[in-house]
Amino acid sequence: ALYLAGLLPGILMIAMVAAFAVRRGQALGIPRQPFAGREVAAAFWEAKWELSLPVLVVALFMTGRTSMVETAALALVYAIVVECFVTKDLHVFRTLPTALVKSSVLAGSVLILLSAAMGITSYIVDAQIPDTLVTWVKTHIESRWVFLLALNALLVVVGCLVDIFSAIVVLAPLLVPMAVAFDVHPIHLGVIFLANLELGYLTPPVGLNLYLAASRFDKPLTTVVRTVLPFLLIMAVAVLLITYVPQLSIGVLEAFGRL
């Protein structure tokens, strides 16, 4: 249900950023390349194995025959087989072990963060902090619109300071009771949650994607921040639309009969 509810909001964010990029390209006088169907077809064919991976993941998960963990394991097997025996970008004995070790280190670091977050979450629930927060919020905030605005501000700040996985684990038990108190559908809350945390990854001064971009393209962080500001504003508008127009997410579920 969350996957279906995120379709239109995701498309909205992509479309708004893409429209700005097109307008910006026209303003800068960047030469336009004529559309060529043969080139597109050739590019799709060249990338057929890579493009098949997300299709495989979505198809397996949506059939309901595999869990998310089982789907991830099958995706790993698919990637290894393709890289080692089809495209031959990796050698089974020379380069595959190194790639697996690097991937394991990354996965391990995420698991450590999640472990710490789970401990914090357990404490929050045992200490009945969500109930206390619900009482405080309902005392000081009466409007659903004001609550959603405050929720957006909180999630953006958290998204630029905390890893997204840890933020989900820690904040969800706190925010769900408050959202229910203000009659916010849980699925809609999930979409708001993810959209805001994604925005937080671009929010100065400590948005993670800013540092990754500065490192990857060898540019000063200040340059990256100045360049990303228009995109940040566009995505902020998209997040507000997603927040205050729940039909963008809930409407899809109603159309598929999932509500």
For the chain, what percent of residues have pLDDT higher than 70? 98
pLDDT 10s digits, 174-227: 888 888 888 899 999 999 988 988 888 888 877 778 887 887 788 898 898 898
What is the band of 235 on the pLDDT scale with cuts at 50, 70, 90?
very high
pLDDT in the model for residue 93: 92
Q: How far apart are CA 247 and CA 241, in angstroms?
A: 10
Q: Give the pLDDT of residue 199.
A: 87
* Whole-number pLDDT of residue 102: 87
pLDDT tens digit string along 18-39? 999 999 999 988 888 888 999 9
Q: Is the pTM of this model over 0.95?
A: no
d(CA 221, CA 127): 40
d(CA 215, CA 229): 18
Tens digit of each residue's pLDDT (9 = 90 or more) over 51-104 = 999 999 989 988 888 888 999 999 999 999 999 999 999 999 999 999 999 888
Q: Is 166:116 a contact under the CB 8 Å cutoff?
A: yes
Task: Give the confidence band of 135 by pLDDT, cuts at 50, 70, 90.
Answer: confident
Range list of H helices, the chain:
2-5, 7-27, 37-46, 48-63, 68-81, 96-126, 129-140, 144-161, 164-181, 186-200, 208-216, 221-244, 247-255
Nearby residues of 224 by Cβ (< 8 Å), 6 or more positions away: 210, 213, 214, 217
**Short-list 195, 188, 183, 167, CA closest to 252:** 188
What pLDDT was estimated at residue 101? 92
Q: Distance between CA 179 and CA 176 in Å, rounded?
A: 5
Query: Residue 123: its pLDDT value, please?
Result: 79
> Please, which pLDDT band fits residue 124 given cuts at 50, 70 and 90?
confident
